[in-house]
């Protein structure tokens, strides 16, 4: 197929290379003209994926009309805060009949919308939308390391098309109809990963991180179910799998940001030191707002928000979580089953 990838960051580059290996014809767009030109010339972004080279026959451009021309499918690989503007830029010259699959993992800060909702609002009404999510660091996918993800769409034919397009001998794709659950799992785990990084920065050990990940999964599932997702989705690749890798991996930018904060850095200082975007920062604000609207208790998310935006000390946040009133692991009102 002729495919266009929007977004020249690490994930966009890794997926462009992956899809090229799978035999597709590729173009890669980035809104930043200087960045796109550098990538076109050098075929490498040494800041985010050193040593990973794009083949010469992949078109790299900052002209979105040129990038989209003739595409049968589009991969939205920009950071979540750029999905709306990128969709607006693409809409006027969107190729007739082309579907879109979004691989960004986040919630829009101002509206609390999921990325598929942002796309639906800004693209033509006849554009079919899917999402692709799971434990999939760009650093490993670009080096053909085994990876497994989930393709989700309300249109089962599109979910299967995405599965076929992306599937390879090292990149396994499952399908799902639970778009809400797959998107929320991929977005909300980043908030828990910041908390996990804070435990690393504070030197709190493995017990604390294991507890945080487990209760974080429970928290995500509770909120997701209240927002209409299927609880069992959160026990799968798009949440539990992604949560594990994002909370533990050296590649995880959200865990790294949390670690910096746990060691005493302010949010501003930690962000300045980051090469790539930590999606969990903006998502923590959106997730907290969603939880308040849904009247769902999310204590870990609440404490991450207070540390990031209200200046609460990381150690104080840990004490707050541990000092909460003792309770059963599952209370009588919860019927969440994996």
> Which phi and psi angles does 323 have, rounded to 5°?
-90, 0
CA distance 76 to 86: 8
**Residue in 20, 42, 157, 189 annotated catalytic:** 189
Pick from 171, 191, 286, 189: nearest CA to 234: 189
CA distance 186 to 236: 11
DSSP conformation class of 96: T
Tell me the β-bridge partners of 210: none
Tell me the β-bridge partners of 26: 3
Chain-centroid distance of CA 40 in Å reads: 26
Q: How many CA atoms lie within 13 A of 68 on its CB side?
A: 20
CA distance 309 to 312: 8
CA distance 224 to 179: 11
Catalytic residue check, 209: no
Q: How many CA atoms lie within 13 A of 131 on its CB side?
A: 29
Q: Which residues are catalytic?
A: 189
């Amino acid at each position: 197929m002729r495919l266009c990838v929007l977004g020249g960051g690490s994930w966009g580059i890794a997926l462009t290379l992956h899809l090229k290996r799978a035999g597709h014809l590729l173009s890669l767009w980035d809104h930043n003209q200087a960045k796109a030109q550098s990538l076109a010339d050098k075929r490498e972004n040494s800041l985010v994926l050193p040593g990973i080279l794009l083949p010469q026959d992949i078109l790299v451009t900052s002209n979105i009309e040129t990038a989209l021309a003739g595409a049968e499918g589009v991969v939205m690989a920009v950071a979540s805060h750029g999905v709306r503007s990128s969709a607006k830029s693409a809409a006027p010259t969107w190729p007739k009949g082309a579907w879109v699959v979004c691989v960004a993992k986040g919630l829009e800060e101002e509206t609390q919308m999921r990325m598929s909702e942002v796309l639906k609002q800004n693209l033509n009404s006849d554009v079919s939308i899917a999402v692709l999510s799971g434990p999939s660091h760009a650093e490993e996918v670009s080096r053909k390391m085994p990876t497994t993800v989930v393709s989700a769409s309300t249109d089962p034919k599109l979910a299967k098309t995405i599965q076929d397009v992306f599937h390879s001998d090292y990149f396994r794709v499952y399908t799902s109809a639970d778009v809400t659950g797959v998107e929320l799992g991929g977005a909300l785990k980043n908030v828990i990963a910041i908390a996990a990084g804070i435990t690393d920065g504070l030197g709190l050990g493995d017990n604390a991180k294991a507890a945080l990940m487990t209760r974080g999964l429970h928290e995500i599932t509770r909120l997701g179910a209240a927002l209409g997702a299927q609880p069992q989705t959160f026990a799968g690749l798009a949440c539990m799998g992604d949560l594990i890798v994002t909370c533990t991996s050296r590649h995880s930018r959200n865990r790294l940001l949390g670690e910096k904060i746990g060691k005493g850095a302010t949010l501003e200082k930690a962000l300045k030191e980051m090469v790539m975007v930590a999606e969990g920062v903006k998502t923590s604000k959106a997730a907290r707002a969603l939880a308040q609207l849904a009247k769902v208790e999310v204590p870990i998310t609440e404490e991450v928000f207070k540390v990031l935006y209200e200046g609460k000390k990381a150690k104080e946040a840990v004490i707050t979580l541990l000092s909460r009133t003792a309770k059963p692991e599952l209370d009588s009102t919860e019927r969440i089953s994996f």
